[in-house]
Amino acid sequence: MTEITPSLLALQLMTGIALGAVYALLALGLSLTFGMLTVVNFAHGAFFMVGAFLGVYFLGLTGNFWFSLILTPLAVGGIGLVTERFLVRPLYGRGIDYPLLLTFGLSYVMVEAMRVAFGIEGVPTSTPAELRGAVDLGFGFFPKYRLFLIGATALVVVALWLFIEKTRYGLIIRAGSRDAEIVRVLGIDISRVWLLVFGIGCAIAGLSGVLAAPTRAVNPEMGISVLAESFVVTVVGGMGSLPGAVVAGLLVGVVFSLTSLFAPDLAELSIFVLMAVVLLIRPQGLFGKPGAMG
């Protein structure tokens, strides 16, 4: 058995934070869609998967990782806009189950589309040349790309917070999530607000995919396990809570990583145990409001 030293523990903790950064981004998009639209997007993992594939495709097309990082969320966000306008929007007001079932079916369509386009085995990927190697953090060497993941997530979280809390459009989004009828009375087209929110949620999922691609096997089924993990994070943080998505994402990542160090066979199980414990103590999640699903 490998000796557990403070340096090894610190490196494993950093690995957990990097993993949690991807979880946090995924849950952020899921929570945004639910919190503002009360839509449980079961295709969220599929949008993540499409983002990973498009990231690899754009990288091959342009030869530039940074272009791929910009183009991918725009493309996936565009798919999200079309999905909301023509598929999800007609189901508003019919109950939470209708969009859930629709997006569940849509996820299978998207998986099959990627199989047709890229093959059932997926595509190879690697870490961008400029982000290869490791950095000495004082307690050990840590991969540059994982540090980049943490920084990119922090940047997205701050940008989204500034957009929602400090802009006029963010104010309209927050008002619309609380009382859409009042927003309509004020002469604002709430349907455009919902369109934007759904598109942003999907774009964040696509960004998560392109960021995670160098650390995962890019294949059509990669969104399935990710969807389960993102829902765990969303439930732990509280359905619809953006701060909860970030905190819970990092917490789940750290729990998974540390469990992998001490008991690798229990790593997958550990995040579900964490969810069960949180729900027993606080049924609405860490930052959620009681009755959010009602």
Domain membership of residue 221 (yes or no) is yes
What is the C-alpha separation between 51 and 22, in angstroms, rounded? 13
Mean pLDDT for the chain overall? 90
Query: What are the start-end ranges of the E strands in the chain?
Result: 134-136, 141-143
pLDDT on residue 73: 97
Domain membership of residue 33 (yes or no) is yes
Interval 74-99: pLDDT, tens: 999 999 999 999 999 999 888 888 99
Residue 20 has pLDDT above 70, yes or no: yes
Interval 239-272: pLDDT, tens: 888 899 999 999 999 999 999 988 999 999 999 9
Residue 116 has pLDDT above 80, yes or no: yes
Domain membership of residue 45 (yes or no) is yes
pLDDT on residue 1: 47
Higher pLDDT, residue 293 or 196? 196
Residue 283 has pLDDT above 50, yes or no: yes
Tell me the residue type at 289. Answer: K
Residue 134 has pLDDT above 70, yes or no: yes
Tell me if residue 84 falls in helix, strand or coil.
Answer: helix
Residue 136 has pLDDT above 60, yes or no: yes
pLDDT on residue 294: 47
| CATH code, 134 | 1.10.3470
Domain membership of residue 143 (yes or no) is yes
What is the C-alpha separation between 47 and 83, in angstroms, rounded? 11
Contacts of 212 (CB under 8 A, 6+ apart): 22, 48, 52, 226
Position of tokens 């455009």?
Answer: 192
Interval 3-13: pLDDT, tens: 778 899 999 99
Rounded to two decimals, the pTM is 0.93
pLDDT on residue 2: 56
Residue 160 tokens, joined: 């989204």
Per-residue pLDDT band for 38 (boundaries 50, 70, 90) equals: confident
Domain membership of residue 286 (yes or no) is no
Contacts of 210 (CB under 8 A, 6+ apart): 51, 52, 54, 55, 68, 69, 72, 73
Tell me if residue 132 falls in helix, strand or coil.
Answer: coil
Number of domains in the chain: 1
> Looking at residues 175-190, what average pLDDT do you find?
78
What is the C-alpha separation between 8 and 35, in angstroms, rounded? 38
Residue 263 tokens, joined: 């008991």
Distance of CA 97 to the CA centre of its chain: 21
What is the C-alpha separation between 230 and 221, in angstroms, rounded? 15
Distance of CA 220 to the CA centre of its chain: 17
pLDDT on residue 291: 56
Domain membership of residue 105 (yes or no) is yes
Domain membership of residue 272 (yes or no) is yes
Domain residues for 164?
A: 6-281
Q: How far is CA 186 from CA 10, 104, 180, in A?
A: 53, 35, 10
pLDDT on residue 96: 84
